[in-house]
Amino acid sequence: MVSTNDVRPGMTLNLPEGLFQVVHHEHVKPGKGKAFVRLKLKNVDSGAVLDRTFRAGENVRQAVIERKNFQFLYRDDLGFHFMDNQTYEQISVREDVIDEAAGYITDGMTVQLAVYEGQPIGIELSASAEVEVSHTEPAVKGDRVSGATKPVTLVTGKVIQAPLFVEIGDVVKVDTRTGNYITRVS
């Protein structure tokens, strides 16, 4: 149990309605009446966001989330398959749990999965990922405007904007938080 006064963004709470991650925390002390805590919570399963108000000092159940490193093996209709780096056990993760990160996960990549009671509930990638370009239109000679970009399709299927000099087969570094091109690796 944890007091609502000690709850911070990023913590995960086990409420009667389900498992929720704290997105925003606000402690309010009105001039008249008792203090309260206003939380913005995101449902781990559905992704729905809701606002809840608690009395200051009220106890809520904190969920213990284990974060473990896994290596990506392959993807099929059941989802994404990972291997625990220490026990070599394989785990299957539904595509809705992976969500936006699917565009950056490549073969052999090590990711950190958030696991609650043996079930994966989320994924954390490093700040950037190196992914190969599978398709792009060739740049036209004379089309060299400073800062110009073109759509580039990565081997994962994700489409990003990259400079005109990026070609098929190049490996590019992409910011996994924003989806922006950072640099060409090779």
Give the residue from 85, 127, 132, 84 showing the smallest Cα distance to 106.
Answer: 132
Yes or no: say if 155 and 131 are a contact pair by the CB < 8 Å rule.
Answer: yes
Provide mean pLDDT across the span 132-160.
83
Question: Whole-angstrom Cα distance, residue 158 to residue 178?
Answer: 13
What pLDDT does 70 receive? 92
Question: Domain check: are 133 and 176 in the same one?
Answer: yes
Give the range of the structural domain holding residue 137, as residue numbers without chain letter: 129-184
Tens digits of residue pLDDT in 148-157: 888 999 998 8
Question: Domain check: are 108 and 141 in the same one?
Answer: no
Handedness of CA 60, 116, 131, 76 (dihedral sign): negative
Single residue among 60, 85, 102 that ends a domain in this structure: 60
| CATH code, 37 | 2.30.30.30
Yes or no: say if 60 and 4 are a contact pair by the CB < 8 Å rule.
Answer: yes
% pLDDT > 90, the chain: 32
Question: Domain check: are 71 and 120 in the same one?
Answer: yes
| CATH code, 118 | 2.40.50.140
Strand partners of residue 124: 112
Single residue among 60, 76, 93 that ends a domain in this structure: 60
Q: Give every strand in the sheet of 36-43, ordered side by side.
A: 12-15, 18-28, 36-43, 49-55
DSSP, collapsed to helix, strand or coil, labels residue 59 as strand
Retrieve residue 26's tokens.
């606000």
What pLDDT does 153 receive? 93
Tens digits of residue pLDDT in 97-112: 887 888 889 888 899 9
88's CB contacts (< 8 A; 6+ apart) are: none
Tens digits of residue pLDDT in 28-82: 888 888 999 999 998 887 778 899 999 988 999 998 888 889 999 998 888 899 9
pTM over 0.75: no
Q: What's the whole-number average pLDDT of the chain?
A: 88
Single residue among 43, 60, 77 that ends a domain in this structure: 60
Question: Domain check: are 105 and 150 in the same one?
Answer: no
The count of domains in the chain is 3
% pLDDT > 70, the chain: 96
